[in-house]
Each structure stands twice: as C-alpha cells, then as structure tokens.
Amino acid sequence: MTQDVITRKNGRVGHISLNRPKALHALTLDMCHAMSDALTVWADDDSIEAVIIDHHEGRGFCAGGDIAFLRDSALNDGGVSGRKFFHDEYQLNHQLFTYAKPVVAFMDGITMGGGVGISQPAKFRVATENTRFAMPETGIGLFPDVGGGWYLSRIGGRLGQFLALTGARLDGAETLWTGLATHYVPSNLLEDIKARIIERPGRIAGILSEPVGTPPPARIEANALKIAKHFASDRYEDILASLEAAIADGDQWAVKERDTLGTKSPQTCKVALRQLATSLDLPTFADNMAMEYRIGSRVLVRPDFAEGVRAVIIDKTGDPKWDPATPQEVSEELLDSIFAPLPADEEWKPL
C-alpha cells in the first residue's frame, strides 16, 4: 500500500486524499492502484453513499502523471512499463466515469493531465480561486489523454480544441463557465463543506449549491468568439492560417496564440485534433479510452515525447527539436499509424 494516497471511511463517505505534496500529487502507478482498490471495495459497501477526492496537504490538486517515469520507460524499456501505467490509469479513469455512487472532486489548486483524468469523471467538480486547470501535453510531445478527448470535444465553441492545442490554463471561474467544473467555492469554505457532505451525503447537490458568493468573471469568455472562429477547423494548418490572417489585421491576441502554438509538437497537435474529432463520434467512454490507449502506446515511444520532456521539464531549456519539425511534415499516414488498432491481446479493456 502506498502512503502517497490516503483512503479512509468518514461516516458514510469514502474519502480519497492524494498525498504526494513534493510532486504536486502527480500520480504514480501505485497511487492509481490504491485509488482503484478503494473504489472497488466501496462500490460493494452499502454503508458508503458517496466518495470525496481531494489532496491532503500542500498545493494541489494533482499536477498530472509521473512524467519522469514515462520518459524513462520510453528510453529504456521500449515503453513497456509506460504502457502499463497508461493502461491501469485509464482503467481508474473509466471506473470513476461509470461509478454508481456520486463522487465529489475538489479541484483546489493545480489540476492538470492526470488530475483532470480523476476529477472530470466526478458528478460534482468543485473549483476554487486556487484552481489552475490545463491539459498542457502538446508542449511535451504527449497528447490530452486520461479522457481528454471525451471531455474537451464536448465543451462546445471549439474551446476544447483551443485548450488541447495551446495548453491554456483556466482559473476556477473559467472552469465553471466552460462546464469543466460544476460548482465554485472559496477555498476557505472547503473544510466546512466537506464536513457537511460527510454528515449528510444524500444532500451533496444542495450543500454545494448554497450561496457562497459570486465567482469572478470568466476571462476566457471575452475571447470565446475569437476561439470559435480561429479554432473552427479540425485541420491544424487551417487554424494556423486563420491566426496568421488575424495577425495581418493587427490582432495581438492572435499573435500570442500563434506564438504559443509555435512551441508545441506539430505531431501531437495534429493527434489532438483528430482525437477530439474522433471522440465525438464514439458511443461510450470505454471506446474513447481504448482509442487513447492506442495513441498513448505509439506516442510514448515516438521521438517528440522524450525530447519534449527533456526540453521543458528536465533541462528546462525550452528548445525542443520536434520530429517531424513542421505541421506539413506530419502526414495522414503517420496519424493513421498512431490511431491504428493494436493486436487484439494488447487492446485496452475496462476493469
């Protein structure tokens, strides 16, 4: 059992707290297993009516997955242990998505990558003034996985495509406005609200909906029309061309977003656009996770991932050498190979 996750019963509530503060509670394989094991037990425990997921101490909520571990796998074991991590993490994501009892996720702090994967499936997703929500994977040659294809493609207004490509960070008010959060609560009220949920788990919706003041304005709303216009296409080249046309007209917002995209992996930007477009046509979340596992299995061992992590996280030089280097060089054939089915005995399956 890992000490990086604290699982316990508080009255009629199962309580999961991430407890890896030095890594901003980034998920390890052991943490995924500990969470999944607890959820499995509570699913059959009639005394448990609801589940709370939060972080125990320090800044949180969860900064993602264990990127250093994944890079080591890509470089040293051909991605074998990395694929195992993806496989079991995605099982946890799906377990939460299909969980029969209400789950309340408190996204109080950084909520990125793997943190999105364990909070978005929850029926109740609580943001605060500390929330920093992002799927920044294209900056390290990865892609917005852990169900990102499902959630981002369904926001509307092409906001999901914008978030997937740029890795833009949303604050708590913005996550509420986009629907990525269901409620907004000032962080100084969280302990009281958790205590009340533990006392009356049948009244979660009412407890969270009681007046707690008005959240600040959602800044992204001011740019929503520009996002819908310039990120309208599923062709990456079209998005870049649309931004360039706006830049020619003197749009400084377009300059900022064009320059942001210039730092991202062309391969994984194209992967993300196809991922979101494909996900919209999939009937179930399990189908989405099977698709994302196929992508993850291939992207993990492609050159951009190890190189992106080196440049952004390890050396912090910010100068990744992407391969392919330009969007035009990322062929449809390459994308087809990344999305192709795996051998039957290697495909992802739910728990």
* Residues identified as active-site: 65, 114, 137, 145
Q: Following DSSP, what letter does each residue of 116-133 receive, concatenated?
A: HHHHTTSSEEEE-TT-EE
Rounded to the nearest angstrom, the gap between the alpha carbon of residue 31 and the centroid of all alpha carbons in its chain is 17
d(CA 112, CA 167) in angstroms, rounded, equals: 10
**DSSP one-letter code for 65:** B
The two structure tokens encoding residue 108: 């109080």
- SS3 label, residue 313: helix
DSSP 8-class letter at 331: -
Q: Do 279 and 150 touch, CB atoms closer than 8 A?
A: yes
Please name the residue that has the structure tokens 């500390």: 130
Query: Strand runs (DSSP E) across the chain, as ranges?
Result: 5-10, 13-18, 50-55, 61-62, 103-107, 110-112, 124-127, 132-134, 170-171, 183-184
CA-closest candidate to residue 253, choices 225, 276, 234: 225
Both tokens of residue 82? 């990395």
List alpha helices for 100-235, DSSP H. Answer: 114-119, 148-153, 159-166, 172-178, 190-199, 204-209, 224-230
For 68-107, letters b (16+ CB in 10 Å) and e give ebbbebbeeeebebbbebbbbbbbbbbbbbebebbbbbbb
